[in-house]
Amino acid sequence: MSAPLDDVLVLDLTRALAGPHAAMMLGDLGARVIKVESPGGDDTRTWGPPFIDPAEGERESTYFLSANRNKESITLDLKDPADQDVLAKLVERADVLMENFRVGVLDRLGFPVSRLHEINPRLIVLQITGFGHDGPEATRSGFDQIAQGEGGLMSLTGLSEPTKVGVPIADLLAGMNGAYGVVSALYERERTGRGRVVHTSLLAGMIGVHAFQGTKWTVAKEVPGLAGGHHPSISPYGMFATATAPVQIACGSEKRWQALCAELGIDPGREGMATNPERVRNRDAVIELIEGLLSTVSAEDVLERLDKAGVPAGKVRTLDDVYAWDQTLSQGLLIDVDHPTLGSIQLPGPTLRFDDNAYAGGREQHIAPPTLGQHNDEIRAWIES
């Protein structure tokens, strides 16, 4: 069974996370991804701890491992004319080139988009920036936490003060948007025969996920505040304490509210709680009522009772629990790969499955993230053949 992108060659000139994540998504779908690294390697090879030290003088960053599966690595000094020639030969054969240098850096290295398209008119170029490729702040460096703050996400997250999301969500969303744009451009190329440039940014990723919080301002002219552990527009919908551990409860409709009330012995028409707008206005009272009724009940019993009552509810799992969960394993979301220095390791896997393929992503077999320059000789020999 062929993978959706198994005839696509991607040159990944990116580093850190947004670009590498985009390239990895295409690699998961079968594309051949050649990661072009400076002789010093991707920045994330030094990000840690934790590091894994398989042998004296060697170490692998778990951060790097998270964003670089299904890739090959070649080291090139793009200020060196000989290595620039190697890159030009790779561009000739490529379908996609991804870069996340600061605006203008690739031009100064001698590879402006005009030259890339002279070498290969069918090339799709993905450019990921921090705040956009043009505009008054285009030259700013893009770092995830700064983008989370500048893009407003931190103003919505937390209990008592703005808080960043626990993963670099601005980077990850920029990567996802970039991969989506590249696949769209590849589809368009089937009609036009020509490549184009795809732009996205960390800022665009942040604003693109404001969802109802964005229209709360743009339409209703209300500035959203910290959402904490409860939904700002639905109640009850959030995290509730029990006798043993918190649980999440989501009553996204009046039917679900009535089911919750029937299970807990609440009058669904109780004053101030009869409709969702009333419950949102009186959220603190709703939380206090529900938590009071759950204060002597274990989280396990709450979840069992609510499941039988048809009320959506769930645990708040730690990651060790998530990766041991049989539902996670059933979806192919944990994959086994053989790493050149670490041996057999497990990685979080791709998010897509196709037809009856038991493997996540489009591949029958996934490839471990490469060591620095692991494929230097192989790739150089290939472009000269």
Catalytically active residues, by annotation: 171
Furthest-apart CA atoms within the chain: distance in Å: 79
Cα–Cα distance for residue pair 270/44, rounded to 1 Å: 55
Residue 111, judged by CB atoms within 10 A of its CB (0-12, 13-18, 19+), counts as: buried
The closest alpha carbon to 44, from 68, 22, 24, belongs to 68
Cα–Cα distance for residue pair 313/304, rounded to 1 Å: 9
Count of C-beta atoms within a 10 Å radius of residue 365: 10
Cα–Cα distance for residue pair 260/291, rounded to 1 Å: 13
Q: Which long-range contacts (CB under 8 A, 24 or more apart) does 209-213 make?
A: 209/153, 209/173, 210/152, 210/153, 213/156
Range 209-239 burial, b when 16+ CB lie within 10 A, else e? ebeebeebeeeeeeebeebbebbbebbbbbe
From residue 163, alpha-carbon distances to 22, 159, 160 in Å are 25, 8, 9
What is the CA angle 153-155-157, rounded to 5?
Answer: 70
Phi, psi of 61 (to 5 degrees): -85, 130
The phi-psi region of residue 92 (left if phi > 0; otherwise alpha if psi is between -120 and 50; otherwise beta) is: alpha
Q: Hey, is 247 helix, strand or coil?
A: strand
- Write out the two tokens for 213: 């919080």
The closest alpha carbon to 11, from 22, 355, 53, belongs to 22
Cα–Cα distance for residue pair 135/109, rounded to 1 Å: 22
Cα–Cα distance for residue pair 383/75, rounded to 1 Å: 14
Cα–Cα distance for residue pair 80/94, rounded to 1 Å: 21
